[in-house]
């Protein structure tokens, strides 16, 4: 991972980044969670890493797939996608016409980053700039996401993979519909299985809906210990952290502090995950 990696010379300092995110100076104080509040969650999360599901954990369940617009049997299609390697996945997503989003896209956007990253960040779907450039999170929200990554010593492309719930831009940057996310879910599932991240961070409601299902408001889900189940990931259960979408944070200053809390929690979880040896596949 990039922790400890010297920042490049053009990078902002941590203090500058925190200011940029509107999180300074109160960030530092909020970065120290109270023991009373965090301990039960950490105990539960530690038990996830050791293979026994915590009582409080809610396992991820992808939204039930809908009917493919192409008419293919969803089960067959899912199986085909589940068997793809990275090249097949790239091609499959580029050629995908399984829902109406293909009609207005310039290109499908699979994801970006280290394909064996420990960290997987999942957003909603490509916007106009992502659609034009073929890379997730390259617009204003992406700049904030990059700042968030830097704040926890991460860097796009280095031990981090960034994907979206849907691979094609919803017209007008609207939120993807449940059926669109369901049709796209096998691609995301396959990405997770190939990457085998140690931690998944869900950015915003659509990502939560796509991976965990419709469980409630984002505010009610933050801080709860979700896991992505071993069966889906083809390996170990993966802790899942829910936080706000960067585009939302650009509009809502007060919630940036909460996002920082989430990132701190994610970093703690990652340290725990790394302390536990991975099981062989």
Using the minimum distance from each CB to ligand URA, give the nearer residue, 111 or 225: 111
Site for ligand URA (CB under 6 A): which residue of 27, 62, 121, 137? 137
Q: Show Cβ contacts of residue 35 under 8 Å, excluding neighbours closer than 6 positions.
A: none
Site residue total, ligand URA (CB under 6 A): 12
Q: How far is it, in rounded angstroms, from Cα 47 to Cα 41?
A: 10
* Minimum distance of ligand URA from residue 213's CB (angstroms): 18
Site for ligand URA (CB under 6 A): which residue of 45, 130, 131, 146? 130
Restricted to residues 149-208, the positions that interact with ligand URA (CB under 6 A) are 164
Stretch that binds ligand URA, among 34-42, 119-127, 152-160, 191-199 (CB under 6 A): 119-127
* Minimum distance of ligand URA from residue 207's CB (angstroms): 7
User: Is 111 one of the binding residues for ligand URA (CB under 6 A)?
Assistant: no
DSSP letter assigned to residue 50? T
In the shown chain, the binding pattern of residues 246 to 265 toward ligand URA, with x for contact by CB under 6 A and - for none, equals -x------------------
Using the minimum distance from each CB to ligand URA, give the nearer residue, 12 or 132: 132
Q: How far is it, in rounded angstroms, from Cα 85 to Cα 99?
A: 22
**C-beta of residue 135 within 8 angstroms of C-beta of residue 2:** no
Q: How far is it, in rounded angstroms, from Cα 147 to Cα 43?
A: 29
User: Is 54 one of the binding residues for ligand URA (CB under 6 A)?
Assistant: no
Q: How far is it, in rounded angstroms, from Cα 13 to Cα 10?
A: 9
**Structure tokens that stand for 83 in this block:** 């068997």
By residue count, the chain amounts to 281
Half-sphere exposure of 275 (CA within 13 A, CB side): 12
User: Is 124 one of the binding residues for ligand URA (CB under 6 A)?
Assistant: yes
* Minimum distance of ligand URA from residue 105's CB (angstroms): 13
Using the minimum distance from each CB to ligand URA, give the nearer residue, 68 or 164: 164
Using the minimum distance from each CB to ligand URA, give the nearer residue, 25 or 172: 172
Half-sphere exposure of 1 (CA within 13 A, CB side): 19
Task: List beta partners, residue 238.
Answer: 228
* Minimum distance of ligand URA from residue 225's CB (angstroms): 23
Task: Name which of 275, 257, 276, 240 is nearest 56 in CA terms.
Answer: 240
| Residues of the shown chain interacting with ligand URA in the complex, contacts defined by CB under 6 A | 123-127, 130, 136-137, 141-142, 164, 247
């Amino acid at each position: 991972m990039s922790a400890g990696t010297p920042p490049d010379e053009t990078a902002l300092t941590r203090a500058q980044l925190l200011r940029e995110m509107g999180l300074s100076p109160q960030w530092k104080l909020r970065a120290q969670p109270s023991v009373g509040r965090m301990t039960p969650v950490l105990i539960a999360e530690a038990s996830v890493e050791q293979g026994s599901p915590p009582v409080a954990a809610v396992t991820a369940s992808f939204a039930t797939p809908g009917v493919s617009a192409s008419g293919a049997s969803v089960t067959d299609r899912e199986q085909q996608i589940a068997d793809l390697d990275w090249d097949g996945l790239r091609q499959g997503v580029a050629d995908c016409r399984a829902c109406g989003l293909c009609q207005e896209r310039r290109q499908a956007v699979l994801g970006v980053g280290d394909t064996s990253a420990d960290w997987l960040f999942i957003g909603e779907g490509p916007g106009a700039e992502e659609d034009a450039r073929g890379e997730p999170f390259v617009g204003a929200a992406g700049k904030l996401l990059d700042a968030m990554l830097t704040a926890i010593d991460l860097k796009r492309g280095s031990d981090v993979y960034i994907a979206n719930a849907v691979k094609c831009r919803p017209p007008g940057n609207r939120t993807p519909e449940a059926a669109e996310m369901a049709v796209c879910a096998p691609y995301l599932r396959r990405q997770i299985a190939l990457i085998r991240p140690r931690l998944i961070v869900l950015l915003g409601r659509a990502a939560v809906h796509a991976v965990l299902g419709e469980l409630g408001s984002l505010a009610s889900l933050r801080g709860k210990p979700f896991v992505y189940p071993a069966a889906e990931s083809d390996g170990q259960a993966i802790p899942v952290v829910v936080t706000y979408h960067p585009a939302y944070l650009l509009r809502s200053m007060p919630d940036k502090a909460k996002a920082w809390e989430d990132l701190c929690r994610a970093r703690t979880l990652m340290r725990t995950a790394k302390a536990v040896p991975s099981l062989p596949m």
